[in-house]
Structure 1
Amino acid sequence: MHMIQHRTVDVNGIRMHIAEQGDGPLVVLLHGFPESWHSWRHQFAPLADAGFRVVAPDQRGYGLTDHPDDVDAYTILHLVGDVVGLIHALGEEKAFVVGHDWGAPVAWHTALLRPDIVRGVAGLSVPPPSRGAEPPLVTMDKKFGGRFYWNYFNRPGVADAEFAKDPRTALRKLFHSASGDAPGDTKQPLVDADEGWLAAMPYPEELPDWFTEEDLDALTESFSDGFTGALNWYRNLDRNWELTAPWDGAVVTPPALYIYGDRDPVPSFPGTPEFIESLPARMPNLHRRPIELAGCGHWTQQERPDEVNAALVDFLRACA
C-alpha cells in the first residue's frame, strides 16, 4: 500500500495543497476549523485499504493552500467551486464528498448544488443545510446578545490577533474544550469580547490519546501564516445566506450519511436537535438514521476513528 503523497494542484484560481492515498473511486475529505488535511490522518489507510482513492486538501485559507486577501473570496460558492474544481483536476467526473465541521457545509452544498458529480455525501458534526428565516449572524446576535462565537469571529482582526499570539496554546485549548474529554456539560460557545475566547478555556496539561503533542505540532505549523483565512469563512455566514436563497427548501438528493457526537456543542445549537430528528423525513436518500456516538465531542473522526471509518466504509461500499 502506497503511503500518503503530497502535491499541489491548480483549482478554481488558487493553488491547493492535497494529500492523497489509494486507488479506486474518489473520496474527497474536507476538514473544518481550525484544522487541516491532517485531521483525516486516521481515515487514509482504512479507506484506501477498502478500495478508494482518498484525497484531503488544505481548503482555501488554510495550511499550504492559497490564502486570498479578500474576505469576499471565502463564500460558500467559492468553497464549493474549489471542490468541484478539485474533482475535475484529479481527472474524475464524480466523487464521494465527506466533510467535518466547516467541511460539512461545503460537502452538503456541493451535493445540493452539483448532485450530478456527487456519488454520495457524508457530514460529520454539522447537519445538512437548513436556511433560517434571517441571516445566521443576525439570529445568533439576537439569541446571545452578540456573545456567540460566530459574532466574535466576525469582528475584523480580533480573533485573528488573539489566536496568533500563541497559536499552539490556542489550538491546544480549543481542541480540548470542544472534545468529549472536556469535563462538564456541553455548553454553547459564548465569548466575552473584552477578554477573548481563550481566557475562559482551561489549559490541558495532558492531551488525549487521539490528539498527541506531535499532532498539535503539525496543526500549529499549518497556521504559521495566521488564522485570518480560516476566520474569513465565518465572515461570510450572512453573505452565504443571501447567496443560497435560490436553494431555499431544496433537499440533498445524493445518498447521504450524518454522524455526530453526543458531547459535541454543534448539534446542540438552537433548533439543531429538532432538525436532526427530522432528517429521515427530510432527506430522501439518507443512508440510515443519523449515527450518534456516545461520549464523542466535536472532533468526530479524530476522537472516534474506528467507528467513523466503519460507518464510512459501509456507506461508500453501499453507494459505489
Structure 2
Amino acid sequence: MSLPSIQRVFLQSVAESDPDGHFVEVDNIQTYYRIAIPQYHKTLLQNQQPLPYEPHKPVILCLHQILGNQYTWRFQMQPLADATGCHVISYDRVCFGFTERPVQWEEGKNPYTQVAAVEFAVQLLIQLGYGMKKVVFVGVSSGSSISCSIAIKYPHLVHSLILIGPSLRPEDQGPPPMACHILGTAPGRLFLKAALYQYLPLLSLYHDINAVPDFDTMVRPCYRVPLTLPNFYESVSWLFKYFIPLEILPNKHILQQFPILYLVGNEDKFTNINIHKEVFEELILDAPENARIEYHVFPNCGHLPQEEKSQEVVDLMIDFLRRLNI
C-alpha cells in the first residue's frame, strides 16, 4: 500500500541537502541510502567510460544500530570503496533516518519486526541491482544481529561478516520484554517523545564524546533531525511493540562457514566486554579448523567503535578484506 505522498515529499525535501543521498522504493517504502564507489569508477563515469565488469568483487552493505541512521558510517564508506574496489552501501532502516515510516500495512507484512528487517535488507540489494553479488555485511549492535540472520537464512548471499559491538544474544538485542511492552503503548510513546530529543544520541553508547569529531555541531544534529520527521515516535513505539529477538547463536554452525571480524570497545556500556568475550567464545566453539573468525578489542572505546575509533576500524576492516583477497 502506498504511503501518503505528503510524507514522501517532506522526507525528500529534508534530505535533499545531502548530494550523496538517494531514495529507492523497497517493499513500497521509500528508502534513503548512500552509496560510495571507488574513486577510479568516478573518474571513468566523469569521462563517460563504462565501469569495469568485476564479478569477483562483492558489495559491502552497512547496517546501523537502533536509534541510529546511515550517518554513523560517514568515516568508513569512501575509504572502504577506494581500498577494496567494492561498492559500499548504507541505508536508513525502517523507522529511522529519512526512510519512510509506514502507518498501515497488509496482514503478515508488518515492516517493524526484526524478521522484516532481515528481508528488507535483501530486497534493498535486489532493488539497487546487486542481487547477484556476494555481500560483505557490516553491522553495528542490532545491525549485526540482522546481518547474522541474513547469513543464516540466505548463506548463498554472504561473502563475510564484520560485526561491531554485536548484539547476538536475545537479551542484548533490545530492551527487556516488559520494557518493550510499555514502550509499545500510548504512554510509552509519550515517554519516548519526552526523552529521546533530550538524550539522543545516547551518551552511554560512547566512552568519550571528545573522541568523536564535531560531536556537538554535526553528530548531535544528525541524530536529532530524524526525530522531527513524520511518524517517528509512532514507528519507534511499533518497533518495540512488535520486537522479538532474532535467534543467532543456536545457528552458529552456519555462521562459522564465513570469515568473521568481531570488533568491540572495552568500555562498552550497552553490551559489557565480558559478555562479548562469552559470546565470541560461544561463536567459535566447535568451529571447523579452517574457520576464519577474528576478535579485536579497542581500548578506551564504547559501543560504537566506528565513530570513536573511526580510523582504526577502517584500517582493520581493510586489512581483513584484503586478506580475503578482495
1:177 partner amino acid: S
1:272 is displaced (CA, Å) by 5.0
Partners of 1:163 and 1:170 within 8 A in 2: no
Question: For 2:170 and 2:259, how far apart are their aligned partners in 1?
Answer: 21
One-letter code aligned to 1:32: Q
1:161 aligns to 2:190 (yes or no): yes
CA contact (8 A) 1:210 1:303 kept: no
1:189-246, Cα deviation, whole Å (9 max, x unpaired):
xxxxxxxxxxxxxxxxx895363422211221122232442454443343x45xx59x
Distance 1:269 1:137 in 2: 17
> Is the Cα–Cα contact under 8 Å of residues 206 and 268 in structure 2 kept in the other structure?
yes
Letter of the 1:78 partner, please give it.
A
Whether contact under 8 Å (1:4, 1:20) holds in the other structure is no
Letter in 2 for 1:109: S
Residue 181 of structure 1 corresponds to 208
Q: Does residue 149 of structure 2 align to residue 109 of structure 1?
A: yes
Residue of structure 2 in register with 1:171 after alignment: 200
Q: How far did residue 318 of structure 1 move?
A: 2.9
**Cα shift at 1:8:** 0.9
What is the aligned partner in structure 1 of residue 120 from structure 2?
Answer: 82
1:255 paired to 2:293: no
Q: Secondary structure at the match of 1:291?
A: strand
Partner of 1:291: 296
Give 1:168 deviation, angstroms. 4.1
AA aligned opposite 1:156: T
| Counterparts of 1:235 and 1:318, CA distance in 2 | 42
Distance 1:48 1:137 in 2: 31
TM-score, with length taken from structure 1: 0.75
Gaps of 5+ in 2: 1-17, 39-56
What residue in structure 1 maps to residue 60 of structure 2? 27
Q: Equivalents in 1 of 2:195, 2:213: separation in Å?
A: 23
Give, in angstroms, the shift of residue 101 of structure 1: 1.5
Q: How far 1:104 moved relative to its partner? A: 1.1
- Is 1:12 equivalent to 2:27 in the alignment? yes
Q: Under a length normalisation based on structure 2, what TM-score does the superposition of the two structures give? A: 0.73
Distance 2:181 2:25 in 1: 33
Task: Name 2:242's counterpart in structure 1.
Answer: 236
CA contact (8 A) 1:263 1:298 kept: yes
Offset, 1:293: 0.9
Q: In the alignment, which residue of structure 2 is the partner of 1:61?
A: 95
| 1:124-162 deviation digits (Å, cap 9, x = unpaired) | 1115x4568xx9889x56xxxx5xxx5476442445323
- Amino acid of the structure 2 residue aligned with 1:76: Q
SS, match of residue 74 in structure 1: coil
- Kept after mapping to 2: 8 A contact 1:4/1:44: no
Rg larger for: 2
**Identity level (%):** 22
Q: Which residue of 1 aligns with 2:70?
A: 37
Q: Which letter does structure 1 place at the counterpart of 2:254? A: V
Could you list the runs of 5+ residues in structure 1 that have no partner in the other structure? 183-205
Query: Which of 282, 289, 292 is equivalent to 1:278?
Result: 282
Q: Which amino acid aligns with 1:8?
A: F
Q: Is the 8 A contact 1:12 1:81 kept in 2?
A: no
**1:125 aligned residue (151, 165, 173):** 165
Task: Report the 3-state secondary structure (helix = DSSP H, G, I; strand = E; otherwise coil) of the residue aligned with 2:271.
Answer: helix
User: Which residue, 294, 306, 321 being the options, matches 1:316?
Assistant: 321
Aligned length, in residue pairs: 279
Secondary structure (helix, strand or coil) at the match of 2:301 reads coil
Aligned to 2:310: 305
Provide closer, same or farther for how the CA distance between residues 213 and 160 of structure 1 changes in structure 2, counting only shifts above 3 A. farther
Would the aligned equivalents of 2:261 and 2:293 in 1 still touch at CA under 8 Å? yes
Tell me how large the CA RMSD over aligned residues is. 3.3
